[in-house]
Chains A and B, each alone.
Chain A
Amino acid sequence: MEFAVKKFEKCDLITISGRVDSYTAPNIGMLLKSLISDGQMNIVIDLEKVSYLSSSGLLVFVNAQKSLNKQKCGRIRFSGTSELIFSAFSLAGFDKLFDFYANTTSAVESFREF
């Protein structure tokens, strides 16, 4: 699993590739925690190149959104989510908690209203 962070005017974009499982999810968790503690409220996570997402990966995203909710602002939005990866969100009932965009451009654009 690899990831990269790109800063935009209204949000940060995290691009992840490879597997997000119990081995790799803690790295994403640490990254999200550090971005949020640095004051980043709006985050796009691009999953287009993610080949597998386990429940531990989902929980990392959910816990990051929970910590944003405590601050009463900030959203995590996803882009490039394939049907198989989305099926993990919906099986867990997390599909209603997040917004999903077709690509990074539309997800980053969605934060312009803020």
Chain B
Amino acid sequence: MAMQTFPGTFKSLEPISKFIVEKAKDAGFSAKDVYAIQTAVDEACSNVIDHAYGGENLGTINIRLKNLNSKLSIIISDTGKPFDPEDIPDPDITSPLEIRKERGLGIFFMKKLMDEVIFEFSPSEGNKLTLIKYKGS
């Protein structure tokens, strides 16, 4: 299992991506899947800063990866306020530009690009988001 903790700032998104891309490549995913995993984690971490912490420099983002035979699990933890991605409705991606509401696009990406997205919250440990990508899916 690999683990790293990053400051809760948008500047951390690049080192987070580098960490994730390296581990996803090591796990044997295709370039397309590596990009998908990178996107899902980047969007999840942006949401942690924007919504769970409600701003930059208000906490840390802990990322743990479990590379199993059949899947890669990525667990993203923060100590911000509860933020369940399921509470945000999917954007209507077919509606005309002028009336389209863009809130939720990052979460929509996360759900579309990963095979499983599991959210848990506990008052003692905070938010825990598990993103799972199956190998060969």
Pick from B31, B93, B112: contact of A84, CB under 8 Å:
B31
Cβ proximity bits A16-36 to B, threshold 8 Å, 1 near / 0 not: 000101110000000000000
Contact at A21–B10, with CB atoms within 8 Å?
Answer: yes
Q: Bound complex: CA of A53 vs CA of B113, how far in Å?
A: 14
Across the A-B interface, how many residue pairs have beta carbons closer than 8 Å? 65
Contact at B42–A54, with CB atoms within 8 Å?
Answer: yes
Contact at A58–B31, with CB atoms within 8 Å?
Answer: no
Known: A55-B105, A55-B109. A97 touches B97 (CB 8 A): yes
For residue B50, which residues in chain A have a CB less than 8 angstroms away from its CB? 22
Contact at B38–A52, with CB atoms within 8 Å?
Answer: yes
Cβ proximity bits A47-83 to B, threshold 8 Å, 1 near / 0 not: 0000010111011001001100100000000000000
Is B102 an interface position by the 8 A CB rule? Answer: yes
Tell which of A3-11, A88-96, A99-107 binds the partner: A88-96
Q: Bound complex: CA of A97 vs CA of B14, how far in Å?
A: 28
For residue A59, which residues in chain B have a CB less than 8 angstroms away from its CB? 102, 105
Is A37 an interface position by the 8 A CB rule? Answer: no
For residue A52, which residues in chain B have a CB less than 8 angstroms away from its CB? 17, 35, 38-39, 42
Interface size on B, residues (CB 8 A): 28
Known: A52-B38, A55-B105, A84-B35. A93 touches B94 (CB 8 A): yes
Residues of B within 8 A of A (CB): 9-11, 13-14, 17, 31-32, 35, 38-39, 42-43, 46, 49-50, 91, 93-94, 97-98, 102, 105-106, 108-109, 112-113
A-B contact pairs, 29 of them (CB 8 A): A19-B13, A19-B14, A21-B10, A21-B14, A22-B10, A22-B13, A22-B50, A23-B9, A52-B38, A52-B42, A54-B42, A54-B106, A55-B109, A56-B106, A58-B105, A59-B102, A59-B105, A62-B102, A66-B98, A87-B35, A88-B109, A91-B108, A91-B109, A91-B112, A92-B91, A92-B93, A92-B108, A92-B109, A93-B93
Residues of A within 8 A of B (CB): 19, 21-23, 52, 54-56, 58-59, 62, 65-66, 69, 84, 87-88, 91-93, 97
